[in-house]
């Protein structure tokens, strides 16, 4: 604390302020969400990797965030140190260019990791003094994407649906995204932001949108057929009990135990649903038909192949969408990931990258525990979303792909670190003159 106080005196008030347009520091995050959600006319997950429009929007987001941080380098350096393992991961990913068969793809991934870090820091600088403005803004954006997705499904089916001819047994909804699982991730973020808004006093209009977003998310989830996202939403529904109130993590010991048992039960049921949907449907919904193929869609075989790849090269095959791995193997069936976020990072970056990922997750958990003393409800929202990311990455690969959950988690983590610095006196709560929080 003494060191932090000494460093604070080195930052004058001018460096702490965000000039006359502080919301510019939030704009990179909004552009990032737009690029990660909207398909821009793409119809497959693979085409997103080479989309010029998406790359341009993401590039604008990263470049704007970097320029804003350079203007406020002194105050931004505090948050840079807090999320330093993310930049170390980017450096190690860049190192894998040495043995990669596609170094251009590696550099593309490194740019995404660095850009995500810049956007997270920029948003962290913006949130000072606006603790509960983040969730309503995110909710409005995601609710708009969901409404547009529903419109696409019913009125623009050529873009809003994935037909069986494209490799699925039945038609699945994609909405404004380019893949059904991406639409499921949008629903998860929207559902979470709605619960976060409902866990605190907000304006009537915000609460109305939040309540409308809950059933809309469930409808779109059903149409997308993303079982992993459905399981994640089940966990969020249980975590909603924890997110209520202002005292740190519950009102009484009985409430803590009850909510923990409920959460644990739903986690088990959710993982069972994701792993064995036929068994769960036969027990609870014998007549139901869920919009996705039965079983794990070949995931056990994919996981086994990923474990073999890790054993063959414990230092990683490089962050080049497995191009190097497939170059030195004889398998005819190829894919971009192993449908498990932890395994995917381990295969691409080896033991070093996996340790860095676990370090990131540990620092997030520690930050949430520290934040509960000052902002208990915000900390609960953070913890619930961290848990959702862990569950999501059991059957999907979300740490190193064009998905939504991981970028939002990184941004929320950086915002939480910023709020901690504000509460400890290192940062000053910054608002424009006469400005109030947007709730």
Confidence of residue 94 (pLDDT cuts 50, 70, 90): very high
Residue 377 is predicted with a pLDDT of 84
Q: CA–CA separation, 361 vs 365, rounded Å?
A: 6
Tally of domains in the chain: 1
Name the least confident of 12-16, 313-317, 354-358, 435-439: 435-439
Output the average pLDDT for the chain.
79
Helix, strand or coil, per DSSP, at residue 388 = helix
- Sign of CA pseudo-dihedral 340, 185, 135, 60: positive
> Does the structure show a pLDDT above 60 at 89?
yes
> Does the structure show a pLDDT above 90 at 121?
yes
Residue 96 lies in a domain: yes
Which candidate, 292, 30, 55, 41, places its Cα nearest to that of 176?
Answer: 41
Structure tokens at 40: 């821009």
State pLDDT tens for residues 351-402: 999 999 999 999 999 999 999 888 888 888 899 899 889 989 988 888 877 7
Residue 27 is predicted with a pLDDT of 94
> Does the structure show a pLDDT above 60 at 37?
yes
Range(s) of the domain holding residue 175: 2-423
Residue 248 is predicted with a pLDDT of 43
Residue 429 is predicted with a pLDDT of 63
Which candidate, 175, 215, 194, places its Cα nearest to that of 37?
Answer: 175
Residue 429 lies in a domain: no
Residue 400 is predicted with a pLDDT of 79
Residue 437 lies in a domain: no
Structure tokens at 86: 């993310």
| Average pLDDT estimate for 15-41 | 78
Residue 223 lies in a domain: yes
State pLDDT tens for residues 136-185: 999 999 999 999 999 999 898 888 887 654 444 567 899 898 888 899 99
Residue 396 is predicted with a pLDDT of 85
Most distant CA pair in the chain, distance: 67
Residue 146 lies in a domain: yes
> Does the structure show a pLDDT above 50 at 289?
no
Residue 98 is predicted with a pLDDT of 92
Residue 169 lies in a domain: yes
Residue 431 lies in a domain: no
Element (H, E) at 173: strand 172-173
Q: CA–CA separation, 391 vs 399, rounded Å?
A: 12
Residue 18 lies in a domain: yes
> Does the structure show a pLDDT above 90 at 434?
no
> Does the structure show a pLDDT above 90 at 437?
no
Q: Please count the other Cβ atoms lying within 10 Å of the Cβ belonging to residue 214.
A: 17
> Does the structure show a pLDDT above 80 at 264?
no
């Amino acid at each position: 604390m003494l060191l932090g106080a000494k460093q604070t005196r080195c930052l004058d008030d001018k460096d702490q302020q965000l000039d006359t347009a502080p919301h510019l520091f939030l704009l990179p995050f909004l552009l990032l969400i737009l690029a990660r959600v909207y398909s821009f006319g793409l119809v497959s997950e693979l085409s997103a990797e080479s989309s010029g429009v998406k790359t341009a929007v993401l590039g604008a987001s990263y470049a704007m965030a970097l320029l804003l941080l350079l203007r406020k380098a002194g105050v931004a350096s505090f948050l840079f140190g807090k999320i330093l393992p993310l930049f170390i991961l980017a450096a190690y990913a860049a190192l894998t260019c040495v043995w990669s068969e596609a170094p251009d793809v590696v550099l593309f991934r490194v740019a995404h990791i660095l850009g995500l870090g810049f956007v997270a820091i920029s948003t962290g600088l913006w949130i000072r003094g606006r603790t509960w403005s983040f969730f309503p803004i995110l909710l409005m954006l995601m609710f708009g994407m969901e409404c547009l997705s529903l419109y696409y499904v019913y009125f623009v089916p050529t873009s809003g649906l994935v037909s069986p001819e494209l490799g699925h047994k039945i038609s699945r909804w994609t909405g404004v995204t380019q893949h059904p699982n991406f639409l499921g991730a949008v629903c998860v973020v929207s559902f979470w932001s709605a619960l976060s808004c409902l866990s605190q006093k907000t304006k009537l209009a915000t609460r109305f949108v939040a309540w409308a977003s809950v059933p809309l998310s469930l409808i779109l989830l059903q149409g997308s057929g993303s079982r992993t996202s459905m399981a994640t939403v089940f966990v969020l529904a249980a975590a909603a009990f924890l997110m209520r109130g202002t005292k740190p993590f519950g009102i009484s010991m009985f409430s803590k135990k009850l909510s923990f048992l409920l959460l644990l039960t739903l986690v088990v049921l959710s993982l069972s649903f994701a792993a064995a949907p036929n068994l769960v449907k036969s027990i609870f919904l014998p007549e139901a038909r869920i919009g996705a193929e039965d079983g794990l869609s070949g995931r056990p075989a994919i996981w086994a192949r990923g474990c073999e790849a890790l054993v063959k090269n414990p230092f990683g095959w490089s962050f080049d969408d497995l191009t190097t791995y497939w170059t030195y193997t004889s398998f005819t069936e190829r894919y971009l990931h192993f449908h498990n976020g932890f395994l995917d990072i381990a295969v691409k970056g080896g033991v070093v990258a996996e340790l860095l990922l676990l370090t990131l997750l540990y620092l997030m958990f520690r930050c949430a525990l520290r934040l509960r003393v000052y902002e208990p409800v915000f900390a609960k929202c953070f913890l619930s979303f961290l848990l959702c990311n862990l569950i999501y990455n059991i059957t999907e690969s979300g740490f190193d792909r064009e998905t939504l959950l991981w970028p939002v988690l990184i941004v929320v983590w950086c915002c939480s670190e910023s709020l901690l610095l504000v509460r400890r006196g290192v940062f000053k709560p910054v608002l424009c003159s006469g400005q109030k929080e947007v709730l």
